[in-house]
Amino acid sequence: MRDPKSSQAIARKRKRAGNEHMRSIEVELYRSVALSACEAISPEASLLKCIEQICRLMDWQVGHIYLPSQKRDALASGSLWYLADPIRFGPYQEYTESLVISSGVGLVGAVFATGQAHWIADASKDPSFLRARQAREVGLRSAFAFPIRTCKDTLGVMEFFTTRHVEAEPALFQTMNDVAKLLGKVYKRKRLEFDVMMKASSSDPLTHLPNRAMFSSRLHEAIVRGRRSGAPGAVMIMDLDRFKVINETLGHEAGDRLLRAVADRLLPFGGQYDHLARLAGDEFTILVPELTGTQTAAQVAEAVHELFEQPFSLDGHSIYLSVSIGGSLFPTDGEDTATLMKHASIALDQVKKDQGKIQFYQHSMQTPTSDRLILEHHLRQALDGDELVLHYQPQVCLRSGSIVGAEVLVRWQHPDMGLIPPGKFIPLAEETGLIMPMTEQILKKACEQGRRWQEEGLMPIRLGVNLSGIHFKRNGLDESILETLDETGFPAELLELELTEGIMMENVEATITTLKKLNAHGIQFAVDDFGTGYSSLSYLKRFPLSVLKIDQSFVRDIAGDPEDRAIVSAIIALAHRLHLKVIAEGVETEEQLRFLQGLGCDYAQGYYFSRPVDSSHFRPMLASERIIPLGMTALIGAGA
């Protein structure tokens, strides 16, 4: 039998060793939390980094965070997880994410309500633990949850699980308490910085009015609401007359101050819901979401005009400004933001031409010019004469460096004018309806080409084909796509159709039905130009999507602009939460590539790897099955 004194000594020694171990972990945790505070780009990224660090240091296999609902009466599973073994613990994650937990209920609910950490030695057997069965199924045992706190609030609850049976240790509670306090501070600061940044990216820095992107989003919401309520609305673009002269004579600094004064004067038209914006230069825009009672759009425009009857005062001088206004009405002049803005802008051109002051859009303003008629005629010939050629731009996996897909980009090989880029003829094709047969032709050519490459034994890759909005306004898209796949024998799983947010938001229900039908055959869908349209990712969740393409405008300055970096980081985190893969578009430099890799982006596409090239140039890239040493050598130089 062991002498009781020596067993006490052993216990003391053990305790000391345990405490020392905890202390070293604490130091390490503190260091990594502080570090992630400096390095992480978004608040979410700082949390994720901490969860990972804690799991690694404590040897816990699952870590995760719950965040409160807006009303703070419930907790929803956050998007941020660490899973030591994603396949094994994936089902547990999935189940957890499906739960919303009321404050006070279960392990995390109790932690949230009391602000106290909580330990369960064996969660798989504890009846008070709501997910006991699911924990048992994947072999998770001990559970530990603690609040992330500031002095006033509980910001969220972190929970950790291990496959071992571990008893609660007071030293651990103390350590985690200290870490949680630090984390609370870090998270709160990051959240603030991030909100300020998001606000900055939706407003115009000069006047602090919403910018174009924000305005488009407001206009879109108004159109959708108007569709439901049946009330018409209007959008008006205002352009200051002769502002250029003022700018040149008084200087740009004075010009800027004058623009700010104009913005202030227009403010009453902004309402509380950001219905006023500065588009660019001396162009402002006003949204009248609902024309009620006897109020007409023309009366609103008159009222704006009257605002300019009084002079502006600048450095003691009185300056008279006048304004031209062009407007369009919804739903009569258009039912989507792009059409309404285009028509308001055509009306504005007309006012300027006529030297009038207010003009609303009229259909007759858009009589086709003879140039357009000629181009349309040529475009029809192009379709009949097989003048459309397809270029392919590789999409590269940022982990393995291999080509996983290609975007198909159409060009018009004109017999006299040479190679015409899509921007020059797609809009016309859309307006004239020629886009329908054109897309059928593009799809068919792409599928035939894909099939040929497969027959030659080349690496099978996804082909991304762009769709226009028009397709969803007319019937028969789904049949024609399925027929094409059938005829060409190209596998549906390898066809990825790209749609912009605008297209998806326009006719939501019909689009969802069509996409689901095609998706049931294996066809994949990508959101194109993501980030430019202001729709929320959670909304897009209703569509059967598999890929999200981050618009080039965010990638361009990713190395130099922390705001863009934060946005891209948040987009990637959210996309992954929705099980979407992310492609970054427009990658031109190694530096951009490095940042994207660092942010966990899945794929990239851009001149850095290769410009879009015709099939004869694309084939060797596929044939070599070359793994691109990322950041070392691009496939084809940017000048190719």
Among 103, 345, 393, 569, interactor with ligand C2E by CB under 6 A:
393
**Residue 317 C-beta: closest distance to Ca ion, Å:** 47
Among 139, 251, 356, 421, interactor with ligand C2E by CB under 6 A:
421
Among 68, 115, 422, 600, interactor with ligand C2E by CB under 6 A:
422
Query: CA 197, 199, 202 angle in degrees (round to 5)?
Result: 110
- The owner of tokens 């072999």 is 139
Q: Which is nearer to ligand C2E, 74 or 436 (CB)?
A: 436
Regarding 395 and contact with ligand C2E (CB under 6 A), the answer is no
Strands of 84-199, DSSP E: 100-102, 118-120, 143-149, 154-161
Encoded tokens for 332: 């009569």
Among 423, 457, 629, 639, interactor with ligand C2E by CB under 6 A:
423
Residues 584-603 that bind ligand C2E (CB under 6 A): 586-588
The distance of Cα 330 from the centroid of its chain, to the nearest Å, equals: 27
- Rounded to 10 degrees, what is the CA torsion of 591, 407, 421, 551? -50
CB 233, CB 294: distance < 8 Å: no
- CA 557/CA 406 separation, integer angstroms: 24
The distance of Cα 610 from the centroid of its chain, to the nearest Å, equals: 24
* Main-chain phi, psi angles of 357, to 5 degrees: -125, -35
Q: Which is nearer to ligand C2E, 64 or 611 (CB)?
A: 611
Q: Which is nearer to ligand C2E, 163 or 605 (CB)?
A: 605
Q: Which is nearer to ligand C2E, 142 or 592 (CB)?
A: 592
CA distances from 606 to 392, 551, 552, 555, 583 (A): 11, 11, 9, 10, 10
Q: Which helix (H) or strand (E) holds 365?
A: none
**Residue 526 C-beta: closest distance to Ca ion, Å:** 8
Provide the terminal-to-terminal Cα distance of the chain, rounded to the nearest Å. 83
Coil, helix or strand at residue 636: coil
Residue type, 207: T
Regarding 496 and contact with Ca ion (CB under 5 A), the answer is no
Is residue 371 classed exposed, middle or buried when 0-12, 13-18 and 19+ CB atoms within 10 A define those classes?
exposed
Q: Which is nearer to ligand C2E, 282 or 528 (CB)?
A: 528
Partner in contact with 515, chosen from ligand C2E, Ca ion, none, beta carbon below 5 to 8 Å by kind: none
Q: Which part of the chain contacts ligand C2E (CB under 6 A), choosing from 109-117, 288-296, 565-573, 606-614?
A: 606-614
- CA 200/CA 217 separation, integer angstroms: 16
Among 607, 613, 618, 628, interactor with ligand C2E by CB under 6 A:
607
- CA 550/CA 387 separation, integer angstroms: 31
Cis peptide before 331 (omega within 30 of 0): yes
Residues 217-236 that bind ligand C2E (CB under 6 A): none
**Residue 409 C-beta: closest distance to ligand C2E, Å:** 4
Q: Which part of the chain contacts Ca ion (CB under 5 A), choosing from 183-191, 315-323, 524-532, 626-634?
A: 524-532
Cα dihedral sign, 423-427-428-434: positive
- CA 550/CA 322 separation, integer angstroms: 40
**Residue 586 C-beta: closest distance to ligand C2E, Å:** 4
Coil, helix or strand at residue 357: coil
**Residue 281 C-beta: closest distance to ligand C2E, Å:** 24
- CA 580/CA 545 separation, integer angstroms: 7
**Residue 592 C-beta: closest distance to ligand C2E, Å:** 9
Among 138, 214, 301, 410, interactor with ligand C2E by CB under 6 A:
410
Q: Which is nearer to Ca ion, 327 or 531 (CB)?
A: 531
Among 496, 506, 528, 564, interactor with ligand C2E by CB under 6 A:
528
> Do strands 418-420 and 403-414 pair parallel, antiparallel, or not at all (unpaired)?
antiparallel
| C-alpha closest to that of 571 among 550, 597, 547, 557 | 550
Residue 368 DSSP code: P
Q: Which is nearer to ligand C2E, 54 or 593 (CB)?
A: 593
Within 10 A of 479 (CB to CB), how many other CB atoms are there? Answer: 10
Residues 144-173 that bind ligand C2E (CB under 6 A): none
The site for ligand C2E, by CB under 6 A, has a size of: 20
Partner in contact with 442, chosen from ligand C2E, Ca ion, none, beta carbon below 5 to 8 Å by kind: ligand C2E
Regarding 612 and contact with ligand C2E (CB under 6 A), the answer is yes
**Residue 615 C-beta: closest distance to ligand C2E, Å:** 14
Among 406, 426, 574, 604, interactor with ligand C2E by CB under 6 A:
426
Q: Which is nearer to ligand C2E, 235 or 593 (CB)?
A: 593
Regarding 529 and contact with ligand C2E (CB under 6 A), the answer is yes
Encoded tokens for 203: 């407003």
Q: Which is nearer to ligand C2E, 31 or 424 (CB)?
A: 424
**Residue 213 C-beta: closest distance to ligand C2E, Å:** 16
**Residue 218 C-beta: closest distance to ligand C2E, Å:** 24
| C-alpha closest to that of 362 among 352, 378, 351 | 351
- CA 563/CA 531 separation, integer angstroms: 13
- CA 216/CA 223 separation, integer angstroms: 10
Q: Which part of the chain contacts ligand C2E (CB under 6 A), choosing from 156-164, 208-216, 460-468, 538-546?
A: 460-468
Q: Which is nearer to ligand C2E, 385 or 421 (CB)?
A: 421
Among 606, 613, 634, 635, interactor with ligand C2E by CB under 6 A:
606
Among 77, 439, 466, 511, interactor with Ca ion by CB under 5 A:
466
Helix 170-202 / helix 43-58 crossing angle, nearest 10 deg: 160
Helix 435-455 / helix 615-623 crossing angle, nearest 10 deg: 40
Helix 337-354 / helix 212-229 crossing angle, nearest 10 deg: 110
CA distances from 267 to 213, 344, 414, 621 (A): 18, 20, 50, 56
Encoded tokens for 279: 């588009």
**Residue 72 C-beta: closest distance to ligand C2E, Å:** 41
Encoded tokens for 301: 């425009």
Q: Which part of the chain contacts ligand C2E (CB under 6 A), choosing from 177-185, 288-296, 461-469, 485-493?
A: 461-469
Q: Which is nearer to ligand C2E, 68 or 422 (CB)?
A: 422
**Residue 173 C-beta: closest distance to ligand C2E, Å:** 52
Partner in contact with 421, chosen from ligand C2E, Ca ion, none, beta carbon below 5 to 8 Å by kind: ligand C2E
Q: Which part of the chain contacts ligand C2E (CB under 6 A), choosing from 192-200, 304-312, 580-588, 615-623?
A: 580-588
**Residue 529 C-beta: closest distance to Ca ion, Å:** 4
Q: Which part of the chain contacts Ca ion (CB under 5 A), choosing from 172-180, 307-315, 578-586, 591-599?
A: 578-586
Binding site for Ca ion (CB under 5 A): 466, 498, 528-529, 585
Binding interface with ligand C2E (CB under 6 A): 393, 409-410, 421-423, 426, 442, 466-468, 528-529, 552, 586-588, 606-607, 612
